[in-house]
Amino acid sequence: MKMVKSLILGSAAGLIAMSGAQAADLPVKAKAVEYVRVCSLYGAGFFYIPGTDTCIKLGGYLRIDTTFNGSIYDQPAWSGDLGQGNRYRDYFAARSRMALTVDTRTATEYGVVRTFGQADFQFTTQGNNTTNPANFTASPAAGTNTGLLNQPGEGYVAVEYVFIQFAGFTFGKSSSAYATPWNGYPGNNSSFLLGGHDTVTGVNNIQYTAQFGNGVSGTIGLDDPTVFNRTVVANLSTGLSSTGAIANAYAGVHAPDVVGNLRVDQAWGLFQISAAAHEVSGSYNILNAVVAPTGVVGVAGASPNALSEISGHPDTKWGGSVMAALQIKNIPTGPGDDFKIDATWAKGDTKNVISTSSASPSFAMFGNTNRAGAYQSVGFGATTDAVYLPTIFGGDGSLHLTTAYGVRGAFNHNWDPYWSTSLFGSYSAVRYDGTAKAQFCAVYTTPAKAVSADFVCNPDYNVSQLGVVTRWTPVKNLTFSAEVMWFHLDQNFAGAATLAATAPKPTTVYEYKDQDTVSFNVRAQRNF
């Protein structure tokens, strides 16, 4: 009996143990997976960041771009080795870029809080448009050339927009409050359509936008001018090159640019008035005038020396600019067609006229000549915010602000859902006052130049552009385009002179003459 009882108890214990082991092996109920949810509050492409009430959108584009007879993104051959047309120039220049954008938005009691950033991962033809050794072993005066970073497997990352928006305010790197919605792109692919403002790559700023209803708004802002909104303040005592180039003698920034706009944006189109106030200041009266030759490590032009601080400086002046812009939508030529135009006047704020998505160019172009005894022709234009000649060098010591004005625009036509064409153009002018011209020409016209009897010195100049681009979009968000653009430099020097042009050009006689160039650009772009 005891044996039977033991067997029963043992079997029961075994069954309990087995059932316990089987229970331990049963799957535990998992927590519910939180799948990504679509956020429809802010348009297509947004989704909620899991576990938050913040919506995010990832986007960007991939672009392959090649320019013939110019530099990247259809820059005309208007300076450097391209402008000379010498053996160092590249016949074409290319850039491959992937732009990545991150857009986040959160609804709050103060309205939507938004952050936005864009990073460009890009690889460019090394040197951008030249193989001149001087560009690769230059003195510190040459600055940093990001094109030199593009060895095989390198490239670099550029930051465009990085900003926060909250309760009408924008903080960070974004388009200026002065800008139009199209910046420097009324219909062109080129990043070098002159004639007006362009901060499409962003500028550090603080701005506030007020919405008045019915599409009417106003924005006021403070822009950091250090990187973007300065051309050159020229201390003429440091000398001028044969093509009018001069070292930059801008002083440090004392005040931000004060900018703003009033805008009407409705179904028929857009109208905007913008204004900017810009401080112009020179560093010192006595600066280094002996520039280290290109390719030699040495002191840059307009660098300070032991006499700079005690020599004094010109008084600071304020300049500025105004712009009017108009867009007309749904014009009778076809669905989606539009016309955009903006016109600008500036004094001491030349970057808002001679503007690109990067730095403002000065121009130096060489061409053919029919003048007897001349080797070639040359045309140039110096882009400045102001010039001054200190009294100790025979001038009046005052800043003379440069005047500039320009207009640009485009007609955009859709042939069908797959093909479109834009016709675009611009005209810009740079003017120096009478005193500035006299001082400029006194420094430029030296006996060494051996000017001709019919020589005329006048640093005023005009530039014109005309172009057309046609785009093919075979499938949504994939576009192939081709753009051709003519550039004309209308300079106001006349006659001829013996000039020590930048090598490899010889020191010889050149005729002063207007110049022209044509560039051609092809592009493939996939937006995502």
3-state secondary structure 360-377: CCCEEEEECCCCCCCCEE
pTM for this one?
0.90
- C-alpha–C-alpha distance, residues 389 and 432, integer Å: 14
**What's the domain range around 93?**
37-527
Backbone angles phi, psi at 136, to 5 degrees: -100, -15
Question: pLDDT value at position 53?
Answer: 94
Structure confidence at residue 29 (pLDDT): 57
Specify if 370 maps to a domain: yes
Q: Is 158 exposed, middle or buried (CB count within 10 Å of its CB: 0-12, 13-18, 19+)?
A: middle
Please give the structure tokens belonging to residue 148. 């030199």
Q: Which residues contact 226 (CB under 8 A, 6 or more apart)?
A: 253
- Rounded Cα distance between 86 and 108, Å, is 60
> By the 8 A CB rule, do 390 and 286 touch?
yes
299 within some domain: yes
Under-70 pLDDT residues of the chain: 1-34, 137-147, 292-298
Q: Is residue 444 part of a domain?
A: yes
Hey, is 142 helix, strand or coil? helix
Give the pLDDT confidence score for residue 290 in this predicted structure: 78
**Has residue 499 been placed in a domain?**
yes
- Going by C-alpha positions, the residue among 166, 254, 264 that lies closest to residue 206 is 166
In this structure, what token pair is assigned to residue 283? Answer: 């560093």
Residues, the chain, total?
Answer: 528
Query: What confidence score (pLDDT) does residue 27 get?
Result: 54
Write down the pLDDT at residue 222. Answer: 98
Q: Which residues contact 24 (CB under 8 A, 6 or more apart)?
A: none
Q: Residue 466 maps to which CATH number?
A: 2.40.160.10
Residue 16 belongs to some domain of the structure: no
For the record, the structure tokens of 310 come out as: 């005690």
Domain count along the chain: 1
**Is position 15 within any domain?**
no
- Please tell me the number of Cα atoms within 13 Å of 381 on its side-chain side: 28
**21 domain-assigned:** no
Q: Cα separation of 205 and 107, whole Å?
A: 24
Asked if residues 409 and 422 have their Cβ atoms less than 8 Å apart, the reply is no
Within a domain: 176: yes
Predicted local distance difference test score (pLDDT) of residue 294:
57
Separation between Cα atoms, residue 382 and residue 245, nearest integer Å: 6
CA dihedral 71, 76, 79, 83 (to 10 degrees): 100
